[in-house]
Amino acid sequence: MRLLVTGGAGFIGANFVHATVRERDDVHVTVLDAFTYAGSRESLAPVADDVRLVEGDITDAALVEKLVAESDAVVHFAAETHVDNALADPEPFVRSNVLGTFTVLEAVRRNSVRLHHISTDEVYGDLPLGDPVRFTEATPYNPSSPYSSTKAASDMLVRAWVRSYGVAATLSNCSNNYGPYQHVEKFIPRQITNILTGRRPRLYGAGANVRDWIHVEDHNSAVWRILTDGTIGRTYLIGADGERDNLTVLRTILRLMDRSPDDFDHVTDRAGHDLRYAIDPSPLRDELGWTPSHTDFEAGLRDTIAWYRDNESWWAPLKEAVEARYRVREG
Ligand code: NAD
Ligand code: DAU
């Protein structure tokens, strides 16, 4: 199979490419990535000899057309992904997430190429705290942020291209990922690298907001399962029963890094901060037989902390610029 991976130099995409090279001899990977601030050549260094790397933008219709025409399938990860950045400047989110997905869709339509579109549980908005209800495929879309609204728009485009043009696409909406190669702007790597650089962790508001954590390798194994066995036109929710509030996650990090439980600062809350995300992954498990393998969150977190400790050269050049942006926001 000739597989085109958009956004393959980002966090989840790079882990996806690593796993594909490791586990699937019959797949030839081409990565298309614009190398925004979130993309990293170093993340693909371990597989540099095994993949074709094309630097380019998913809104470049001629380039996307050429690469799609050379492929049997596309896994579309490329997007602007950070809620805080979207609040500060939504324009790149509209461009990459909406126009970029449109460009990919038009190319797969013209070339009759299979597409798997990667999306997020944030399209469903948020759930109340302390309620057993979880997101399902039938939950109405209700995005809260400029980020999630552009991801919702991209999902709608994919669904319409399936219905109107018969594009052979599947979609997945996953919960919060953690693991190696995640940008230090995101919650877990930010707190780990704050501690490693002598800064104090920073918690938005009271830390009561709940996220449903999944290890990035489990997200990617589910994507492969959907790509090979999924039903065209279907949306699959990917989650691993990992609900935890932010304060609990931060205190676990502090404990695993031998810090006292109160060794952090509360900072200004995020505007429009979604309260709780939670995925009901039963259709994926029941219909496609997928199960996560990283079921011990604390063990996964310990490995992630070790990865950031051992790979300072990967994240250190990014850290000061990220914290400078946060200083403006947090005051
Ligand atoms: P990331 O920000 O780490 O990486 C995004 C990658 O896309 C980068 O390599 C960047 O250079 C590339 N990119 C951005 N705009 C581009 C453009 N216009 N053209 C080409 N490349 C471009 O993101 P991530 O966390 O790895 O997320 C990947 C996908 O998974 C996104 O679609 C995101 O919405 C989705 N997702 C993420 C999570 C999560 O917890 N991180 C959860 C669910 C879904
Ligand atoms: O749910 C899936 C989504 O998860 C993905 O679609 C997004 O691309 C990904 O960024 C993530 O979105 P969140 O907004 O949930 O992730 P983030 O890491 O930014 O924040 C996680 C939680 O931690 C959130 O409630 C905000 C809070 N937070 C975040 C940062 C950066 C803090 O308390 N302190 C921080 O410094």
82 lines ligand 2 (CB under 6 A): yes
- Residue 14 has a pLDDT of 99
Helix (H, G, I), strand (E, B) or coil at 19: helix
- Residue indicated by tokens 């309260």: 275
- Residue among 215, 68, 238, 48 nearest 137 (CA): 238
Tens digits of per-residue pLDDT, 123-162?
999 999 999 999 999 999 999 999 999 999 999 999 999 9
**Number of other residues whose CB lies within 10 A of the CB of residue 50:** 15
For residue 246, give the ligand 2 atom closest to its CA.
23
Rounded to whole angstroms, how far apart are CA atoms 186 and 205?
16
Tens digits of per-residue pLDDT, 73-123?
999 999 999 999 999 999 999 999 999 999 999 999 999 999 999 999 999
In this structure, the residue with its CA closest to atom 3 of ligand 2 is 176
270 lines ligand 2 (CB under 6 A): yes
Extract the tokens encoding 327.
Answer: 């200083």
Rounded to whole angstroms, how far apart are CA atoms 167 and 181?
32
**Residue 178 annotated among the catalytic residues of the structure:** no
Distance, first Cα to last Cα, the chain: 50
**Residue 122 annotated among the catalytic residues of the structure:** yes
6 lines ligand 2 (CB under 6 A): no
Extract the tokens encoding 68.
Answer: 């799609």
Q: How far is the CA of 186 from the centre of ligand 2 (A)?
A: 6
Judge: domain 2-184+213-242+276-295, CATH 3.30.1490.190: no
Q: How far is the CA of 205 from the centre of ligand 1 (A)?
A: 26
Beta bridge partners of 266: 203
Query: Strand (E) positions, the chain?
Result: 2-6, 28-33, 51-55, 73-76, 114-120, 169-174, 177-178, 202-204, 210-212, 214-215, 235-238, 243-245, 265-267
pTM of the predicted model as reported, rounded to 2 decimal places: 0.99
